[in-house]
Structure 1
Amino acid sequence: MPAASNGGASLHYETTGEGPTVVFVGDAGYGAWLWGWHHDAVAGPYEALVWDLRGTGESEAVGPYDVDTFAADLEAVLADHGVRNAHLVGAGLGGMVALQYAHEYGRARTLTLYNTGASGDAVDADALERLSLDAGPEQSLAGAFSPAFRENAADLVADVTDWRREEDATGDAFAGQAAAMTGFEPPPLYEVTLPTEVYYGVDDPVVPGDGAESLARDLPRGTATAVEGRHLSFVEHATAVTDRLVAFLDDHAAD
């Protein structure tokens, strides 16, 4: 399995498919399982690249944990894999990393951001802490998925719990990632001129919709779309969201 290195941290990543590269940047605490639905929709006509944030999955739990470091980690991964151009898909903390990366580095071509605020001020720190697996498997899913989804997709929720035990960041690693998210100070957003789609959960307790809508307004080429659900609304409604993602990628694949 390939691994890049930045600042003494080994960073695990995996790729599937051929074509323009689509990079998935994870949210605070969550492992690569988060992108299983998106990965299946994208891999084939595109190359899907999924990497573990430091402290998550098979990447080393080595500090510092901040958005600038995560963006530098992403650059190390893309350089290691020889990627010249990439479409970035980020959720929560990963969306902030994608924004910072697009401002600081030259490989990004589009941004798709899920449940991401314009700054750490848009994040409810208490709600974010309750998403940690440390809060308990069932309790930690209450802010992630709607009650109807947890009831009607009980088998899938059980699978998610198993995947989380294998891959999620916990303890100090989760705390460091959460602090990176709540402490995020964005670059000048008017300078991030890439085509950007922002999706937000209507009932997201971590990043309320007005924070995501504010982000879309501040980006020169940003649009905002509401999705029913909570912080992982893009997983709960993966089919519709990934259809939109693939259409967006197709529109800009030749850029």
Structure 2
Amino acid sequence: MPTASNGSVSLYYEADGDPDRETVVLLGEAGYGAWQWGWQHAGLTGPFETLVTDLRGAGRSDAPAGPYAVDDLVADVQAVLEAHGRRRVHVVGAGLGGMVALELARVSSRPRSLALLGTAPVGSDLTLDPLFGDPSDPDALETSLGAAFSRDFLDAHPDVVEQVVDWRAAEDATPEAWAAQAAAVEAFDVSDRFYEVDVPALVVHGRDDAVWPVAYGRRLADELPRGEFVGLDGGHLIGIERSRGVNDRLFGFLGA
């Protein structure tokens, strides 16, 4: 099991595909384990090397006492990239992971490009609680998926819902670690520093996102110097709900 260390914090990561290909790093939403990237991992590995890492607090990474800051998570990602020997990478981030991607691009030259799924330039107005489910409570995990997916998706894919609940029970953050990650979202604000993120940026957002409103995605694309917006019908976890459409757009963007 490969791990990297940022001080005393051990960080799990997993790389798949040809190491001679360009690397795509996948950074996830608050509270969720690496399960959330199964759909993009399957679609991108091969043409690219994919690197999935659990943010501190979730999955197989350590969960030190919080609160966390986006700066902490950026330092964690830098440690993972150093351990894996990658200098320049494409970064795909969802929710909190998108905030980490933005800050990584602002403070370093590592990102070749950014793809931001359901994220926002500022977190103080967001209420993330509907997305949280205690991993020890399967009913709470299933109920909280009502904030992550559209009603149409939930009704059409009960098998996916059942599998996601199982994955969440195994990998998601505890209540304490969730609160520590949510604090990083709440404190984040890049709204007066858009100009410092001067890499190509694809912003993909679910039009029916009930927690991270689509207006935030539109603002990101409008304000980033090289931003492009794509709206898709669906909820917050648009990379799962509309995986084919998201993957097609990622291929077109990253390939360019």
Return the TM-score normalized by structure 2: 0.94
After superposition, give the CA deviation of every residue in 1:17-52 in whole Å (9 maximum; x if it has no partner). Answer: 011000000100111010001001111121000000
| Counterpart position of 1:62 | 64
Distance 2:43 2:142 in 1: 28
| Counterpart position of 2:175 | 171
Distance 2:82 2:60 in 1: 19
Q: Structure 2 stretches of 5 or more lacking a match?
A: none
Distance 2:243 2:123 in 1: 26
In the alignment, is residue 193 of structure 1 matched against residue 195 of structure 2? no
Q: How many residues align?
A: 248
Moved more, 224-233 or 88-97: 224-233
Aligned-residue CA RMSD (Å) = 1.2
Distance 2:92 2:166 in 1: 24
Instruction: Tell me by how many angstroms 1:118 deviates.
Output: 1.0
**Match for 2:149 among 145, 149, 171?**
145
**Match for 1:111 among 88, 109, 114?**
114
In the alignment, is residue 162 of structure 1 matched against residue 186 of structure 2? no
| Counterpart position of 2:251 | 246
Distance 1:250 1:103 in 2: 22
| Counterpart position of 1:86 | 89
8 Å Cα contact 2:56/2:62 also seen in 1? yes
8 Å Cα contact 1:132/1:170 also seen in 2? no
Moved more, 149-158 or 134-143: 134-143
Distance 1:156 1:73 in 2: 31
8 Å Cα contact 2:40/2:239 also seen in 1? no
Distance 1:84 1:101 in 2: 12
| Counterpart position of 1:211 | 216
In the alignment, is residue 225 of structure 1 matched against residue 225 of structure 2? no
Distance 1:104 1:56 in 2: 24
8 Å Cα contact 2:124/2:185 also seen in 1? no
8 Å Cα contact 1:3/1:13 also seen in 2? yes
Distance 1:32 1:237 in 2: 18
The alignment partner of 2:4 has SS state of strand
Instruction: Tell me by how many angstroms 1:122 deviates.
Output: 4.8
The alignment partner of 1:149 has SS state of helix
Distance 2:160 2:153 in 1: 9
In the alignment, is residue 2 of structure 1 matched against residue 2 of structure 2? yes
Instruction: Tell me by how many angstroms 1:66 deviates.
Output: 1.0
The alignment partner of 2:5 has SS state of strand
Instruction: Tell me by how many angstroms 1:170 deviates.
Output: 2.1
Distance 2:7 2:69 in 1: 13
After superposition, give the CA deviation of every residue in 1:111-156 in whole Å (9 maximum; x if it has no partner). Answer: 0001111111352x1xx11111128022110010111111111011
The alignment partner of 2:204 has SS state of strand
The alignment partner of 1:110 has SS state of strand
Distance 1:89 1:115 in 2: 11
8 Å Cα contact 1:227/1:234 also seen in 2? no
Q: Structure 1 stretches of 5 or more lacking a match?
A: none
What is the aligned-residue identity percentage? 48
| Counterpart position of 1:130 | 130
Return the TM-score normalized by structure 1: 0.94
The alignment partner of 1:174 has SS state of helix
Moved more, 91-100 or 113-122: 113-122
Instruction: Tell me by how many angstroms 1:7 deviates.
Output: 2.7
| Counterpart position of 1:12 | 12
